[in-house]
Each structure stands twice: as C-alpha cells, then as structure tokens.
Amino acid sequence: MSIENSKKLLVLGYVWPEPNSSAAGRHMLSLLTLFVQQGWQVTFASPALQGEHKVDLTELGIDEQAVTINCSSFDDFVNELNPSIVLFDRFMLEEQFGWRVAKHCPDALRILDTEDLHSLRHARHQALKQNRPLTPADLSSDVAKREIAAIFRCDLSLIISDYEFELLKNHYSVPEHILLHCPFMLDLQNVTPSANSFLDRQHFISIGNFRHEPNWDAVLFLKQTIWPLIRKQLPQAELHIYGAYPPPKATQLHNPKQGFLVKGWAEDAKQVMQQARVCLAPLRFGAGIKGKLAEAMFCGTPNVTTNIGSEGMNMGLDWSGLTTDLTQFDNQENSASDFAKHAVQLYQNEALWQQKQQHGYQIIKTNFNKEEIQTTLLARIVDIQHNLNNHRSNNFIGQMLQHHQLKSTQYMAQWIEAKNR
C-alpha cells in the first residue's frame, strides 16, 4: 500500500472537536486540517454526543459520522469505508474499536493520538488526593496497563510531550519506532510581538475547560489559597477566570469584592489573553502540554505556573515566566506563598516581564513549528506504510496484545451487544 494511491483516513474521536474549548480540540483540528490539505478523504466518527461548541467539520470537507459502541453496525461501516489509515483519539477508542479495525481492515495503518498520557494524569491525581509524592507503583495502575497496551497494539502513537516520550521509552520499554513526538503545530507566521505593552495590560487571567479536572483543581486552589495572598499585596488587582462549561460550583466562586471574577466561556480567548498582564496556571496534577500556556506565549503574556505546567513545553529553553513546585506535600503553605510572590513579582517588574515575554516567543518558534512537525509526521507515515509488515514484525509485544485483545474484547463486546438486544 502506498500513501499516493490510498488516501482514506478514518478518525475515531473520543469527543467531537471543540477547538475553542480545549487544547485537545485544537490539536485534533490541526491534525485533521493537515490531512485535508494533503488531499486525503477524511471521515470523523464518534460515539459521543455533540457539544454546543463543536466545530462544523463539513465546512472543511470532512465527513461526519455517528457510530455506536458495542455494536456490529460499526463492522459494516468500516468495511464499506475501507480506510487506509485509522486514527484513534485517546486509548479508550482504540480499546473500543481497535479489534474491529484489525479484524476488518488488517492492512490499515493504526495510529493512536494519545493527547496526553491519561494514566500519568490519573496517577498524579491519586497522589495529590492522598497528599503524597508520586511513586513507581502509581505508574503501574490498571489505567496505565490499559493505556500502554493500546500504545503497543498501534503501529504509531503520537506523543505530545517529550517528557512522556522518554517515560514511555525508558520506564515502559515501548519501542521508539512506534512512537512519534508530535507537539502542538502552530502557525509561526502569526507569531508577532503583541501590540499590548506591559503598561497597556492589567489584571491576571486563568483559562481552561472546567470539565478538565486539573483546571477545576487549579481554580479552586487559586480561590482558596493563592489569590488571597496576591490580593493582599495588590488590592486593586483582579483575576479573570475563563473556560468552557463552567458548572454552578465554579460560578458560585464569583466575587467582585475579592476581585475574583468567573467569566466562563470566552468568545475570543486570544483577545482576553492579550489584555491580561500575567497568566496564572497553578496546576497541581496533569499530563501532556498545556494549551493555555501555549496561548499565553502566543499572545505575549508571561505566566506563573508549576513544574507540571511547564513540563514538555520549554524543551531546554528558558521558561516564559516563573515556576513553583506545588507538589511538595510536606511544605504546601510555603509553596503557595512562593507562587503568589512570583505572581506579584512578574506583575510589577516590567523588565522581568519583557524578558519572559521574549522567552515565550522563542519557545513557540523553536518547539512548535507547524511546518517542521507536519513534515516529520507525514514522512513517518509514508515510511511505515511502505514497510508495514516489517514494522509490525519488530513489535512482538504489540502482536501478542493484539492477538489476545481480539479474543477478550471481541467476546465482551459481542456479549454486551447480545445483552442489549
């Protein structure tokens, strides 16, 4: 099979893309756009309900299809479509549909877009809830076993963070030939110095989809711990909280007297980001790379975040703000105080602010160059397609897991389907 004469791509989405709601939505849209521009026939299918901020993929020339889990109707659908490549959006979709794709389209290249390592985020969340550091045992959870198995079963997995790439390679012994570091793909032609200077800007901003647990934890931590410390030193400052799908528990935190303003959905995230002087992202757990911080750098807005917030983004370059480790469980009060001090320092020091702004532009231009990342991705796809049998033969663990998953998952799905009748 060659990429030249077979350009039919099926994307199985965990959710329908919402590029204005989440970094995952923007990343997925950039992948879809790339394949459309390459002349591919792209179909996006999902079992999920459509959200209110869903992008209309048909305007991009992409066919939209609803599919059902645990149902043989998918077999007919994928047989008729006969894609040359299937891209799974997150490991849960590979679990659900991977065995069906392997059975009915065995020659289709199977790609997993991890978005972030869900098992790493889950492990860090469990450690936080138990008020303790992360341990090696946390990385062997049931979620980790499921996710790593899905990575082994696929021909290629797109890994958004260099930290996670090294973790997969060194801790989980995943062969490097089935991994590709694929961070955000940003259009550098639009990266220009912001017209809004230090003095033109005011207040702090925090932004993130409220349905993403690390974002909600960050908002709550800001409200209860960090913002009161900042407000003591900057009594006129305000913190503007933006994000899609704010629940009542979030909107109830809105308090103008405290300068804590929960504004919810932002029609134009770039506009509100460019008006703020400093972006706050006190992320205490999570994984992947952070769309809110890429957006801040793109808009020339320095940030204060955590080691987890900056992870996988600077790749050896100077950071676009100041960081604090909020996972020092034996010294949390001092950590929160340090975060607040950094926020005040960056808010008041124009020279430092300008330096960090320039660091942000450098990170964007060096690490998220759309042209370079797209070229690498397409070249890897061509190479694997031209050598698919050899590629798979060098991944025995993946073949073994595929064999057993075809049995266990197939029988479970057929049992559920029969039960639902």
| Cβ-based neighbours of 118, under 8 Å, separated by 6 or more | 90, 91, 143, 147, 287
Strands (E), 226-338: 239-242, 260-264, 278-281, 303-306, 321-324
Which SS3 state, helix, strand or coil, does residue 197 take? coil
- Tell me the chain's radius of gyration from C-alpha atoms: 22
List the chain pLDDT tens, one digit each, 421 residues: 334 447 999 999 999 999 888 889 999 999 999 999 999 999 999 999 998 889 999 999 999 999 999 899 999 999 999 999 999 999 999 999 999 999 999 999 999 999 999 999 999 999 999 999 999 999 999 999 999 999 999 999 999 999 999 999 999 999 999 999 999 999 888 777 888 999 999 999 999 999 999 999 999 999 999 999 999 999 999 999 999 999 999 999 999 999 999 999 998 999 999 999 999 999 999 999 999 999 999 999 999 999 999 999 999 999 999 999 988 766 677 889 999 999 999 999 999 999 999 999 999 999 999 999 999 999 999 999 999 999 999 999 999 998 776 666 666 666 677 777 6
Nearest to 286 by CA among 102, 169, 133, 117: 117
Contact by Cβ (8 Å): 72, 410: no
Alpha helices per DSSP H over 134-237: 142-153, 162-170, 213-221, 227-233
Look up the pTM and report it: 0.92
Identify the helix (H) or strand (E) that includes residue 157. Answer: strand 156-159
Question: In the β-sheet with 260-264, what is the strand arrangement from edge to edge?
Answer: 260-264, 239-242, 204-207, 278-281, 303-306, 321-324
Q: Is 406 exposed, middle or buried (0-12, 13-18, 19+ CB in 10 A)?
A: middle
pLDDT at residue 51, rounded to an integer = 84
The ranges assigned to domains in the chain are 8-186+369-420, 190-367
pLDDT at residue 230, rounded to an integer = 98
| Cβ-based neighbours of 218, under 8 Å, separated by 6 or more | 206, 208, 281, 282, 283, 284
Contact by Cβ (8 Å): 241, 249: no
Architecture of the 190-367 domain: 3-Layer(aba) Sandwich (3.40)
Q: Using CA atoms, how far apart are residues 130 and 197, in angstroms rounded to an integer?
A: 43
pLDDT at residue 258, rounded to an integer = 96
Strand-pair category, 179-181 with 156-159: parallel
C-alpha dihedral sign at 298, 304, 309, 314: positive
pLDDT at residue 330, rounded to an integer = 62
Strands (E), 173-294: 179-181, 204-207, 239-242, 260-264, 278-281
- The CATH number of the domain covering residues in 8-186+369-420: 3.40.50.2000
Q: Same topology for domains 8-186+369-420 and 190-367, yes or no? A: yes
pLDDT at residue 415, rounded to an integer = 66
